[in-house]
Amino acid sequence: MTRLVTDQKTKKSNVTRFIIFMIIGLVTLFLLSVLFIAFGAEKLTIGEVFRGLFNYDKSVFKHIIVHDIRLPRLLADIMVGVSLAVAGAVMQGNTKNPMADSGIMGISAGSIFAIMIIMIFIPNVSRIERIVISCAGAGLATLLIYVFAMVGRRGATAERMVLAGMAISNLFSSVTTAVVLKTGMITQMMKYTAGSSANTIWLDIHISGPFFLAGVAIALIISRSLTVMNLGEDVSRGLGANVKITKTLSTVVVLVLSAIAVVIIGPVGYVGLMVPHIVRYFVGTDYRLVLPSCAVLGAVLVVFVDFLARLIIAPREFPVGILITMIGVPFFVFISRKQKSDTFAG
């Protein structure tokens, strides 16, 4: 009885924290967004930013900067942040692996691989085809990593998944490099692999938008089942949740969202690892609270890092993917230190 009461208490406090978290997150995101649009090679005042956004006039140069250069970029960053963070959280829930992340697990490498292959054979591949191809590549990598996670008597531990992901990612990037070197497309590949949202145009947003929204919507719909599933598959069966459907849907969410992130800005690792960990620290483990918080924090993180990326060596830009890796690695080390160790044979 007492346990139930405390459960309800923590639940209540989690909800309160969730609300606070969301409010702070959204306000931060809003302020960051305004700053993001205002700063740059051409500095704008706050007033100009808002006029550019809501009172767009094609003949004013500054409005064009706001509307056609910085706003799409901002949206791209937000989409990538949300996608990666949500995909990471879903993946961590689905595989019960706290180290899961679409970059670390080689899913982004699968996407890049597919995109580079298709760009060699069909140089003018359209943007929508690129998304589909990217999904296919992500799917291939996801399949590999999931098969790996399921084969074996005891299932895969977090460490083993990370090593397998590293190997798969290595495999894909090796083949990609081989093909790229054979065909002399090295500059294009570098552009893709560094991760930058600098060249985003409205078309990118329009085309990937529906996929993105669908992915996030499905994630939110299955959030309850994910929470239940994490209590144990027997429990969730008892509670009437369909484990199979949840697993399939969450896999689809992971690969669509990761693939979109790759198409928009390239492979960005560690967002999906860091954000859910931070979020769970504040709002607990209920995915109905975790996923929206992840979305907000993911967006804040990527927008902030991209903001930094434009600032630190201005007028040149730092690739945002690399900058996030620099932040993500210490975090990864920190988490892996917290993990209970699993001893290999040998």
Which positions lie near other proteins, rule CB under 8 A? Answer: 104, 148, 151-152, 156, 159-160, 162-164, 166-168, 170-171, 174-175, 177-178, 181-182, 186-187, 190, 193-194, 269, 318-319, 321-322, 325-326, 329, 332-333, 336-337, 339, 341-346
The distance of closest approach from Cβ of residue 198 to other proteins in the complex, given in angstroms and rounded to an integer, is 13
Q: What is the 3-state secondary structure (H, E, C) of 159-209?
A: HHHHHHHHHHHHHHHHHHHHHHHHHCCHHHHHHHHHCCCCCCCHHHHHHHH
The distance of closest approach from Cβ of residue 274 to other proteins in the complex, given in angstroms and rounded to an integer, is 12
The H or E element that residue 269 is part of is none
189 vs 226 by CB, closer to other proteins:
189
The distance of closest approach from Cβ of residue 103 to other proteins in the complex, given in angstroms and rounded to an integer, is 9
The distance of closest approach from Cβ of residue 187 to other proteins in the complex, given in angstroms and rounded to an integer, is 7
Residue 130, CB half-sphere, CA atoms under 13 Å: how many? 23
The distance of closest approach from Cβ of residue 338 to other proteins in the complex, given in angstroms and rounded to an integer, is 10
User: Which own/partner contact pairs does 65-70 have at CB distance under 8 Å and 24+ positions apart?
Assistant: 65/40, 66/37, 68/201, 68/202, 70/36, 70/37, 70/40
3 vs 340 by CB, closer to other proteins:
340
Instruction: Establish whether the linkage from the previous residue to 315 is cis, with ω within 30° of 0.
Output: yes
189 vs 222 by CB, closer to other proteins:
189
> Exposure of 331 by Cβ count < 10 A (0-12 exposed, 13-18 middle, 19+ buried)?
middle
Given a contact cutoff of 8 angstroms between Cβ atoms, the answer to whether 47 and 238 are in contact is no
* Rounded CA separation 60/68 (Å): 12
48 vs 101 by CB, closer to other proteins:
101
The distance of closest approach from Cβ of residue 300 to other proteins in the complex, given in angstroms and rounded to an integer, is 21
105 vs 253 by CB, closer to other proteins:
105
152 vs 232 by CB, closer to other proteins:
152
